[in-house]
C-alpha cells in the first residue's frame, strides 16, 4: 500500500527525490497555485485596462459632433474600435482559459494528495486544514467561483463590443 501511495504521489514529477515529504509536496502545489493565480490576475488586470481605454476612445468617438467630418468619423472610428475590442476579447479568452485549467489541475493534485495523505494538511493542535482548503468535496470547489470573473469577463466584453459595433453602424446609417 505504501508503494502504491508513493507511486501515485510522484506521478507528476520525474523522480520521488524532489520532495522529501508529503508536506513539501503540498507546499509546492500551493506555491504553483499561487503563481498561476497571480498570473491570471495580472492577465485579467491588463485585459481590463485595455478594454477600459478602448471604451473611453469608443465613447469619445461616438460623441464627436464636428459638422465637417463628424458623420464619417462616427461611422468609421467607433466601428474600428468595436472590432478591435472584439478581437482583443477573443484573443484574451484562450490565455485566461489555459490559466484556469492549470489552476484547476494543481487544485486536483492537491485534493488527491490530501485524500491520500489526509494528515499532511492538518496543523498540529488544530483540526483545521492547512491554508483553509479543507478535505471536503465542497471546500475544494470554492476556488472555481473566485475564478469565474476572469473566465466570464472576455465573453461579456465580446458581447458588448458586438452590440456596440452594431449600434454604431445602425446609428450612423440612420443619420
Phi, psi of 122 (to 5 degrees): -90, 130
Q: What's the pLDDT score for residue 19? A: 81
Given a contact cutoff of 8 angstroms between Cβ atoms, the answer to whether 25 and 17 are in contact is no
Q: What is the distance between the alpha carbons of residues 11 and 25, in angstroms, rounded to a whole number?
A: 12
Q: Can you say whether the dihedral through the CA atoms of 44, 46, 52, 57 is positive or negative? A: negative
In 3D space, the residue among 83, 79, 50 whose CA is nearest the CA of residue 62 turns out to be 79
Residue extents of the structural domains in the chain: 21-174
pLDDT, block means (10 residues), the chain with 175 residues: 46 60 89 94 95 95 83 87 96 94 93 79 50 49 83 96 92 78
Amino acid at each position: 500500500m505504501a508503494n502504491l501511495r508513493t507511486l501515485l504521489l510522484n506521478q507528476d514529477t520525474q523522480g520521488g527525490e524532489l520532495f522529501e515529504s508529503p508536506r513539501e509536496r503540498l507546499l509546492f502545489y500551493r506555491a504553483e497555485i499561487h503563481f498561476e493565480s497571480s498570473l491570471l490576475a495580472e492577465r485579467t488586470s491588463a485585459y481590463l485596462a485595455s478594454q477600459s481605454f478602448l471604451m473611453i476612445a469608443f465613447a469619445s468617438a461616438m460623441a464627436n459632433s464636428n459638422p465637417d467630418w463628424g458623420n464619417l468619423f462616427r461611422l468609421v472610428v467607433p466601428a474600428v474600435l468595436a472590432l478591435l475590442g472584439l478581437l482583443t476579447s477573443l484573443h484574451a479568452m484562450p490565455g485566461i482559459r489555459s490559466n484556469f485549467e492549470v489552476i484547476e489541475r494543481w487544485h486536483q493534485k492537491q485534493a488527491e494528495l490530501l485524500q491520500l495523505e489526509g494528515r499532511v494538511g492538518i496543523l498540529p493542535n488544530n483540526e483545521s486544514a492547512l491554508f483553509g482548503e479543507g478535505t471536503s468535496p465542497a471546500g475544494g470547489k470554492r476556488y472555481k467561483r473566485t475564478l469565474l470573473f476572469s473566465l466570464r469577463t472576455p465573453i461579456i466584453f465580446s458581447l458588448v463590443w458586438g452590440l456596440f459595433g452594431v449600434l454604431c453602424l445602425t446609428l450612423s446609417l440612420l443619420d
